[in-house]
Amino acid sequence: MTADLKLALEQRINLHSYANDERPVILSQSVVMRMCLLAGLADKTPRTAKEIEQIPLQSSGTPYPTTFFTKQKIGQVIEALLKMRYHDVDADWGSSNFVSRVIGHEILRGRDLLMKEGGIDDWLRFSPLRGGASVNDIPALNLCIGSYGDDMPATLDINNRTIANTQILVAGTTGSGKSNLLAVLLQQMRSASSDTHYPVNFLLFDYKGEFSDPANAAWLSLFDTDSTAILNPMERPLPFTPFKDFTGKPVNELNLYSTTMATALLAISSGAKISANMDNRLSEAIVNAYKANQMKPVNFKMIFDHYNRLLPEKKQGDMDSVKSVLNQLVNNNIFADEDKIDLVHTCNIINLGRFEKNGIIAKAIVYFVISKLNNIYEQLPKQAMNDERVEIRHFTIIDEAHYMLGFENKPLQNLIAVGRNKGMSIILATQNMEDFKSKSIDFYANAQYPLIMKQQQQNDAVLKDLFGVSGSQLQDLKQAITGLQKGELITRDSSLAELGLGPSWKKIKVTHLI
- 3-class SS shares of the chain: helix, strand, coil, % to 5: 45, 10, 45
Question: What average pLDDT does the segment 123-150 reach?
Answer: 72
Question: What average pLDDT does the segment 138-148 reach?
Answer: 90
Percent of the chain at pLDDT exceeding 90: 27
Q: Residue 290: CA atoms inside 13 Å, Cβ hemisphere, count? A: 24
Report pLDDT for 410.
Answer: 73
Question: What average pLDDT does the segment 252-272 reach?
Answer: 82
Following DSSP, what letter does each residue of 397-461 receive, concatenated? EETTGGGGSSS--HHHHHHHHHGGGGTEEEEEEESSGGGG--SS--TTTT-SEEEE---SS--HH
Mean pLDDT across the chain, nearest whole number?
A: 82
Percent of the chain at pLDDT exceeding 70: 85
Report pLDDT for 124.
Answer: 66
Cβ neighbors of 132 (< 8 A, separation 6 or more) are 197
> How sure is the predictor about 303, in pLDDT bands with cuts at 50, 70 and 90?
very high
Judged against a pLDDT cut of 50, whether residue 129 lies above it is answered with no
Taking residue 4's Cβ as centre, other Cβ atoms within 10 Å add up to: 10
d(CA 166, CA 393): 12
Domain residue spans of the chain: 3-124, 251-332
Q: Which residues pair with 509 in a beta bridge?
A: 147, 488
Higher pLDDT, 78 or 16: 78
Question: What average pLDDT does the segment 245-261 reach?
Answer: 90
Taking residue 494's Cβ as centre, other Cβ atoms within 10 Å add up to: 14
Report pLDDT for 130.
Answer: 43
Report pLDDT for 407.
Answer: 62
Of the listed ranges 109-118, 220-229, 251-260, the least confidently predicted one is 109-118
d(CA 382, CA 198): 14
d(CA 383, CA 378): 12
> For the whole model, what pTM was predicted?
0.76
Following DSSP, what letter does each residue of 84-113 receive, concatenated? HHTTTS---TT-HHHHHHHHHHHHHHHHHH
Cβ proximity of 170 and 429 under 8 Å = yes
Report pLDDT for 310.
Answer: 92
Task: Give the three-state DSSP class for 253.
Answer: helix
The phi, psi pair for 473, rounded to 5°, reads -65, -40
Question: What average pLDDT does the segment 437-445 reach?
Answer: 65
Report pLDDT for 93.
Answer: 75
**340-374 pLDDT per residue, tens:** 888 888 899 999 988 888 888 988 898 889 888 88
Judged against a pLDDT cut of 80, whether residue 49 lies above it is answered with no
